Structures are given as C-alpha cells and as structure tokens.
Amino acid sequence: MLRIANSLKELDFAKLMAVYEESNRENGRDNYPEEPEERQLFLQEENFYQYLRQVFFVTPGAVCAVWEEDGQYRAALRLEPYKDGLLLEALETTPAYRRKGYARQMIKAVQAHFADKRIYSHVHKKNLPSLAIHEACGFQRVSEQAAYIDGSVNSRCCTLCWEVESLRFS
C-alpha cells in the first residue's frame, strides 16, 4: 500500500534505508573511499538522514512515498515541487523485490494520489528498465537533458513528464 510521508518522523528510517542500501553502498564507496565498507554505509546513511531532515522535508510540498507490504518497505521515491508540477526522484526498489512490479505499482498509485499535478522525472538514458517503467506508466520524454532544481544540467539523463489529459489542455 502507498504511504505518503510529509516529514521524517512519519517514516521508519531503518526500513527506508533497506530500500536504498544498494545506492548508499555505492555512494559510500565514492564519498568515503578511505573508510571500511560498513563505515562507508553508516556515513552515507547519516548523510541521507541529514539531507531529509535539513533540506528535503523543509521544502514546502516535498513528500516521500513508500510502498509498504507485510510491514516492510518494498519501494520508495521522493517528490518535490518542480516547474509547474512535481519532480519524482530517487525511485528505488529493494533488490529482492525487483522485477515484481513494485515500482510500476508505486508510480501508478502516486499518479492517482497527485492526479491534479504534472509529474516530471529525470532518468539516465542508459537505465532502460527505469525508462520502460516510466513509459508504461504514461510518461513521455520532453527533454534530452535533465535540468535539476539546483540549476545544474545533466545531458546523460532525459526528462520525462506525465500529465493527466485535463492538464494538457489547461
């Protein structure tokens, strides 16, 4: 079931970190190469926590969405205000539950929850599984690069957008 969190206290941080463990390990290796592997993970998770607490959840309209089943988080993503809608970012599924439809199910539930908003997403052009999921959920490519909230641009990513029919003609 879809859960929308408007604050860090509405999330079980340990369950959220289980979803993002693979990315946190990768980022920990990049950010703390001199540290032992488990320390890298700890430091990266601490960075994630501080980002959510000090940056993400202080942004008006920012929410974290998780798909919870059997008391565990299976997938997660973040949404924050972007242009004339929301930016979907950090879509991840716990590795043991990939290729079982959780990401698609979650995106569809988020679309239903935010049906009155355009939803954008930046996806790496080589991330074919993510591109396929977004396209299956009705996203269309609107730019061959990603323009991030901080003003940076990434030409390795494209921007996708989903909008309900009624928004297209407004």
Note the pTM of the prediction, 2 decimals: 0.90
DSSP characters over 83-124: TTEEEEEEEEE-GGGTTTTHHHHHHHHHHHHTTTSEEEEEEE
Find residue 140's DSSP bridge partners. 161
Q: How many distinct structural domains can be found in the chain?
A: 1
Give CA–CA dist 79/161, Å, rounded.
13
Residue numbers of the domain that contains 163: 2-168
DSSP output for 34-69: TS-HHHHHHHHHHHHHHHIIIIITTSTT-EEEEEEE
Give the phi and the psi of residue 120 in degrees, each rounded to 5.
-105, 160
- What mean pLDDT is predicted for residues 35-39? 97
Task: Return the H-helix or E-strand segment holding 81.
Answer: strand 72-82
* Cβ-count burial 79-118 (b if 16+ within 10 Å, e if not): bbebeebbbbbebbbbeebeeeebbbbbbebbbeebeebb
CATH number, domain containing residue 105: 3.40.630.30
Q: How far apart are the first and last CA of the chain?
A: 31
Measured between alpha carbons, how far is residue 59 from residues 17, 51, 66, 76, 151 in Å? 21, 11, 18, 18, 16
Mean pLDDT along residues 112-127: 96
State mean pLDDT over 114-123: 96
| pLDDT averaged over every residue in the chain | 94
Spatial separation of the C-alpha atoms in residues 25 and 37, rounded to whole Å:
8
- pLDDT for 60-106, tens place per residue? 999 999 999 999 999 999 999 999 999 999 999 999 999 999 999 99
